[in-house]
A = this chain, B = another copy of it.
Amino acid sequence: MHPRFRLLLTPRQPLTANLRFRQHNTVGRTLLSSIGLKREFSASAKFNSKSSKPPPQIHMATTKTGQPLDRGTLDILLRRRLFYTPSFEIYGGVSGLYDYGPPGCALQANIVDTWRKHFVLEEDMMEVDCTMLTPHEVLKTSGHVDKFADWMCKDSKTGEIFRADHLVEEVLEARLKGDKQARGIKEEEDKEDEDDKKKKKKKVKEIKAIKLDDAVRLEYEETLAKIDNYDGKELGELIVKHNITNPATGGALEPPVSFNLMFSTSIGPSANLPGYLRPETAQGQFLTFSKLLEFNNAKMPFASASIGKSFRNEISPKSGLLRVREFLMAEIEHFVDPQKKSHPRFAEVKDIELRLLDKDVQLSGKTILTTKKIGDAVKEGIVDNETLGYFLARIFLFLTELGVDPEKLRFRQHMANEMAHYATDCWDAELLTSYGWVECVGCADRSAYDLTVHTKKTGQPLIVRENLENPVVWEEWDVDVDKKWMGPRFRKDAKKVEETIEAISQADREILAAKQAAGEKVMITVEGLGEVELEKVEIVKRQKQQYIREYTPNVIEPSFGIGRIFYSLIEHIYYTRPEDATRGVLAFPPKIAPTKVLIVPLSGNAEFVPWIEKITRTMRKAGIANRVDDSSASIGKRYARNDELGTPFGVTVDFQTVKDGTITLRERDGMKQIRASIEDIVAVVKAQVEGNGEPWEKIVEKFGEFTGQDLE
């Protein structure tokens, strides 16, 4: 196969394939962590080991209020409150599979709803719902069958399987740590490291204090900095060279083999239609392109969008919700004329400032963020085009609307060797968490790659035919042959002669025409026949016009990992009460919060019941998700429970309610209360939930702070 075609078969770069957790690890380096999938570019392009080692991050994960974030405590909270829970736990669980409980499910639905309004409705995108089951051939064409894989190696004795790059990384890290111990260098972050060990189920359980040669230490560090870029053969060589074995048993490992990350299955009763669970939602959108174009009255540009589950059979998932085997994605495919990548609404966003980490800065070995207006970034050529820039700004607006901390959000550009060869430009929206910077949204200009490969494979043109207002006009020499003469003259060779004529260049035609005009014979050389005379031909110059332009659209693809946004957002909005470090609060914005209002009767008094019913009914009618807590726990305990659930408002029903129909409303973060009629309170909450309310201080000012309630 021609190399060019081989390159075309390099798969598209999927969302998490580009994921890089930049972890502040235990040996004091920040490295491209191996938590990322094996990237496809690794075989063809390598980081320069010097330049690919960015300096340590200046940022650390903190709570919303700036305290150090204790991931373990947060995780316990999230499980206790059923934001998520390991799937099939009573059957022992399956790693990489998690269920969302009621608050997690509501939070996810609110994120998806916000996404749909922010992108699909606002931009009139065409949402599609394509199947997860995907036949082999489609994913063969996209490149996933051949390339969407990690390297694994097996302990032939125990049968245990390791992800090769992870194992090499862990073993070398452990040795470097042992070297430090042997040299008596104090470990700084022992506790965090212990937590990490438990969380991430490390294979290397024990650090041995063995001093390394300086050269060996350097080699290990360089290897670690490049760990994402080795292919299977190279990983195998590293395993042999550094004598890496099964950490538990010391057993020898087989050479790494490629393991495809797609779940395979078989469609239908005979085994002849192999298929996979899709690894991304994009392919379905590409295949529907022509129908969508027609649905859009053949107008360009347009975008399709899809929200749905995708699947990746990770070799050994860890990092909680960040690396799972089944996950929700939301993807946009914005199809655009490659010659017109401007965007009509770019002016609306051009002054939005983004924190950028461009490829040049990374190449220089730095991770210094530049804050820049997206308009300037496009003007200066840092971001390739307006449409791509428009989406980066829209992604920023979306994430901050959810409650993401803009200080912990950066846009990192892919470096040339990190991008698929066909991609024009690619930026990741990364959120800073306790796992490091996590890629939550990818935004790539994928050129015409995807539509082109499917067109080639199926013969169905996934193209745009555009009527040209001003037809393209040009002149051309035609060689008109008298077919009635040619057939009898050349017989079986007629076709060959015709093809030879067809192949005459415009320049040669002009020369022939000049000769003919000068009365000379028109002679051409035909393979196998030698020179022949074309007696009955005319060579004439004609004007040509083209009214239709055909092109394969380029695709700009913002791709959202909803589960990663879900988790990172929680880290951003989590804090503990200053007065009580054990009291965790999830400070979701009202719009995103799973439940908006907790309704608390002051006691189990029967007189309160009709009031509670009235309040819930009124709120439900106003579309406000609420929950009653009439348990016997103290009001303080009930509020604490709801701090953990992130419920922004609390309503109490007390004896004054029975008298005058007023209720109290308490805001979660400031804990200040107001007292007013049910109708007024519902109106206040509705405005807050819909995002068009006044700041809470103003509301307290307006209604007056209420402090009189007897909470006993």
Contact = CB atoms under 8 A, between A and B. Distances in A.
B94 A458 contact: no
Contact of A94 (B81, B87, B267): B267
Q: Which of A89, A129, A625 has the most CB of B within 10 A?
A: A129
Contact of A99 (B85, B104, B284): B284
A254 B311 CA distance: 37
Interface string A87-129: 1111100110111111011101100000010000110101111
A263 to B, nearest CB: 5
A288 B99 contact: yes
Interface of A is mostly: mixed
Given A133-B97, A265-B264, A265-B277, A122 B620 contact: yes
Contacts of A620: 121-122
B313 A267 contact: yes
A326 B131 contact: yes
Contacts of A269: 152, 161, 259, 313, 315-316
Interface in A576-631: 620, 625, 627-629, 631
Contact of A127 (B106, B273, B292): B106
Interface in A243-291: 259, 263-270, 273, 275, 277, 284, 287-288, 290-291
A315 B460 CA distance: 29
B121 A100 contact: no
Given A82-B295, A631-B297, A101 B288 contact: yes
A572 interface: no
A88 B139 CA distance: 11
Contacts of A137: 91
A309 interface: yes
Contacts of A326: 131-133
Contact of A129 (B90, B100, B259): B100
B270 A132 contact: no
Given A97-B133, A131-B326, A268 B313 contact: yes
Copies of the chain in the assembly: 2
A695 interface: no
Interface string A328-358: 0000000000000000000000000000000
Contact of A133 (B104, B161, B263, B287): B263
A159 B270 contact: yes
A521 to B, nearest CB: 51
Contacts of A56: none
Contacts of A291: 82, 85, 101
A261 to B, nearest CB: 9
A130 interface: yes
A570 to B, nearest CB: 16
Contacts of A104: 129
A62 interface: no
B273 A91 contact: no
A138 interface: yes
B265 A265 contact: yes
B94 A273 contact: yes
Contacts of A98: 131
A134 interface: yes
Q: Which of A159, A269, A295 has the most CB of B within 10 A?
A: A269
A129 B108 contact: yes
Contacts of A138: 88, 91
A22 interface: no
Nearest to A616: B124
Contacts of A460: 90
Contacts of A454: 90
Nearest to A262: B265
Contacts of A270: 159, 161
A91 B263 contact: no
20 contacts: A87-B284, A88-B135, A88-B138, A99-B284, A100-B129, A101-B288, A102-B128, A104-B129, A105-B127, A121-B620, A132-B132, A152-B269, A263-B265, A264-B265, A268-B313, A268-B315, A268-B316, A269-B313, A269-B315, A297-B631
9 pairs of A and B residues whose beta carbons are closest in the complex = A100-B129, A90-B460, A102-B126, A99-B130, A105-B127, A90-B458, A263-B265, A97-B131, A269-B315
